[in-house]
Amino acid sequence: MTKVIVEPDESFESALKRFKKQCEKAGLLSEFKKRQHYEKPSVRRKRKALAARKKAKRRERMSD
């Protein structure tokens, strides 16, 4: 659970900015988007395999 304690002299905008940054760091938005629709296990495996291939390809290009 993400909490932001607002200081007495702090503006609402800066507190909101800190809250958004903490949510992004915790991965709440990506988790929410991922769980919005059901994903079959076979589709999940294919997506993970594709991501792994992309990552390996990127690493290969970076090492050259």
pLDDT digits (tens, 9 = 90+) for 27-54: 998 889 889 999 999 999 999 999 999 9
Does the pTM exceed 0.85? no
Cα–Cα distance for residue pair 1/23, rounded to 1 Å: 9
Whole-number pLDDT of residue 43: 95
Check residue 62 and give its pLDDT.
87
DSSP 21-39: HHHHHHTHHHHHHHHSS--
Burial class of residue 59, CB neighbours in 10 A (0-12, 13-18, 19+): exposed
